[in-house]
Chain A
C-alpha cells in the first residue's frame, strides 16, 4: 500500500494534469447542456476591437434581435472572441463599418462570465460572411 509521503508526492505531480482535465470536462459539459442565448455584438471602441487575436466587443442586450434571459440581473457587459490572426483585421473593418451587418454571438452564461459557442454575421457563420465581404471589397477595388 502506498504510504502518505509517496501519495502526497504523486498527488502534487498529478494535480495540474487532473485538475485541467476535470475543468475542461466541466466546461465541455456546460458547453453542450447549458441554455444558449443569441446576443447582438457591438464594438465598443473601433481602435480596440481587435486585441491580438481576439475580437473585443460589448453585448447589446437591448437590441430587438437579442435574446435577453429572464430574471438574471448581472448580465455580462463585454466579451472576447478568439479568431485566427489572418481574419482579425478584416473582421475589425467589417464591424467598424458594419453598414447593416448584424454580428451575433451564441453564448452560455456562467455568473457574470459568458462563453461564446459561435459567432454569426447576418445569420451566416462568420467565416462565410467574411469571405463574401472580402469578395465584395475586392470587386469594388477593381
Chain B
C-alpha cells in the first residue's frame, strides 16, 4: 500500500488527525524533491567519473609513468586536504566520510600503481598488508559513520588473524612457536580489540568505530573457538610441548579474573570479557585433550556455544541467546549426519533424519521460548 493509502487508513481509524496527515504528506513531497535532485546530481557525477576512467583506461599504455604517479598522488593529497578541512564541520559529515572512503580505496590503487611502474615482484597479500597498516590510523581517527567502520572491521577480521598466523607459520618450523601464535592470536587479539573499543576517550570521540570494535572482538572470539573445534580435532601435529596450551589456558583464566577484579569495568562488560576469555580457553582444548574425534569436536562446539548462550542470558541479550540455540541445533544435526550419515542411503534413513530434524527444531524452539522469558 502506498504512503497516501496508509495515511488515509490511519486517518479513518482515528490514529492521526487530518492536519497530521497533511503535514506528513508535505514532508514526503519535500523529501522526494530533494531525493530527485540529489539522485540526479550523484548519477551525473558518477557518469563523469566513469567517462574519465574509461578515457584513462583506454590510453593507459600511452600515459607516461610519472604523469600516472603524480596525478594519483595529487588526488590522494587533495582528498587528505578535504578531510582535514572538514574534520570539525558537522555540516560536512557526509562529504568527509565520502572523501575518507575514496582515500582509503585509492591508497590501495596507488600501491598497485607503484608496483606496476617499478615492476615490483611482490605478492598481492604484501600490498594489502602495507595498505591496511598505513590506513588503519587514519580510519580509526576519522571514521565516524557505521559504513566505513564496518567495512574496515570486515577487512580486519579477514586479514589480520590470517596475516599474523601465516607470517609466523612461514618464518619458522618450530611447532611451539606456531601453536603459541595461534592460541595467542585467538585470545589476545579479540581482547586487545575490545580494550581499544572500550577506551573511554576513544568510545566518546569515535562512537561508531568503538562500537564496531567491541562487536568485532566478540565475533572474532566466537569464530576462533568455533573454528578450533571444526579444524583441530582432525589435522593434528603432536610435535609441541604441552606447556604451550597449558600456558595459554592459564593466561585465559588469569586474564578473566584480572578484568573481573577491576572496579572500573561494568558488570555487563565483564561478561563480554568472560566470553572472550572463554573462547581463548576453548581454543586450547583440542591441544590439551589430543583427541581426534568427531564426537569430541561436536561436544567442544556445543559446550562453547551453550556457555556463550548462558553469558548472553545473564546479559539479557535475547536475540543472541536465540542465535546460540540455533547454532547448537544446526551443529547437532551436522553431528548426527557425521555419525549416522550412512543411513541416508536407505528410505528409513530419510525418515529418521526427518524425525530428527523435526525433533531438534521443536526442542530448540522450546528452549528459546523458555530462555526468552528470562532474557527479555
Number of A-B contacts (CB under 8 A): 74
**How far apart are the CA atoms of A27 and B118 in the complex, in Å?**
7
Interface size on A, residues (CB 8 A): 30
Residue of B nearest to A83 (CB): B61
- Contacts A9-B141, A13-B83 known; A20 to B107 CB distance under 8 Å? yes
A window 68-93: CB within 8 A of B: 76, 78-82, 84
Q: Which of A95-103, A112-120, A131-139 contacts B (4 or more CB under 8 A)?
A: A112-120
CB of A106, distance to nearest CB on chain B (Å): 11
Interfacial chain A residues near B87, Cβ < 8 Å: 9
- Contacts A10-B84, A13-B84 known; A21 to B121 CB distance under 8 Å? no
Q: Is the CB of A113 within 8 A of B121?
A: yes
Partner of B120, one of A14, A17, A113, A117: A113
Interface of A: prevailing SS? helix
Q: Is the CB of B119 within 8 A of A13?
A: no
Residue of B nearest to A107 (CB): B119
Q: Is the CB of A24 within 8 A of B69?
A: yes
Interfacial chain B residues near A14, Cβ < 8 Å: 80
Is residue A16 within 8 Å, beta carbon to beta carbon, of the partner chain? yes
Interfacial chain A residues near B111, Cβ < 8 Å: 20
**How far apart are the CA atoms of A52 and B137 in the complex, in Å?**
33
Interfacial chain B residues near A16, Cβ < 8 Å: 76, 80, 103, 107, 110, 134-135, 138
Q: Is the CB of B118 within 8 A of A31?
A: yes
Chain B, interface size: which category? 20 to 34
Q: Is the CB of B73 within 8 A of A17?
A: yes
Interface of B: prevailing SS? helix
**How far apart are the CA atoms of A12 and B275 in the complex, in Å?**
33
Q: Is the CB of A20 within 8 A of B114?
A: yes
Is residue A44 within 8 Å, beta carbon to beta carbon, of the partner chain? no
Is residue B142 within 8 Å, beta carbon to beta carbon, of the partner chain? yes
Interfacial chain B residues near A9, Cβ < 8 Å: 87, 141-142
Residue of B nearest to A24 (CB): B114
Q: Is the CB of A15 within 8 A of B134?
A: yes
Per-position 1/0 for A1-39, Cβ under 8 A of B:
000000011111111110111011001100100000000
Interfacial chain B residues near A31, Cβ < 8 Å: 118
Most B CB within 10 A of own CB, among A17, A78, A84: A17
**How far apart are the CA atoms of A11 and B84 in the complex, in Å?**
11
**How far apart are the CA atoms of A78 and B61 in the complex, in Å?**
25
Q: Is the CB of A116 within 8 A of B138?
A: no
Partner of B121, one of A13, A114, A117: A114
CB of B126, distance to nearest CB on chain A (Å): 10
- Contacts A17-B76, A17-B77, A20-B110 known; A79 to B141 CB distance under 8 Å? no
CB of B209, distance to nearest CB on chain A (Å): 13
CB pairs A–B below 8 angstroms (22 shown): A9-B141, A12-B138, A12-B141, A13-B80, A15-B134, A15-B137, A15-B138, A16-B80, A17-B76, A17-B77, A20-B73, A20-B111, A20-B114, A21-B73, A27-B118, A80-B119, A82-B116, A113-B121, A114-B121, A115-B119, A115-B121, A116-B119
The 6 A-B residue pairs with the shortest CB-CB distance, nearest first, are A12-B137, A116-B119, A16-B107, A16-B134, A27-B118, A12-B141
Q: Which residues of A line the B interface, CB within 8 A?
A: 8-17, 19-21, 23-24, 27-28, 31, 76, 78-82, 84, 113-117
- Supply 15 further A-B pairs (C-beta < 8 A) apart from A10-B84, A12-B142, A17-B80: A8-B141, A13-B84, A16-B76, A16-B80, A19-B134, A20-B107, A20-B111, A24-B69, A24-B118, A31-B118, A80-B119, A113-B120, A113-B121, A115-B121, A117-B119
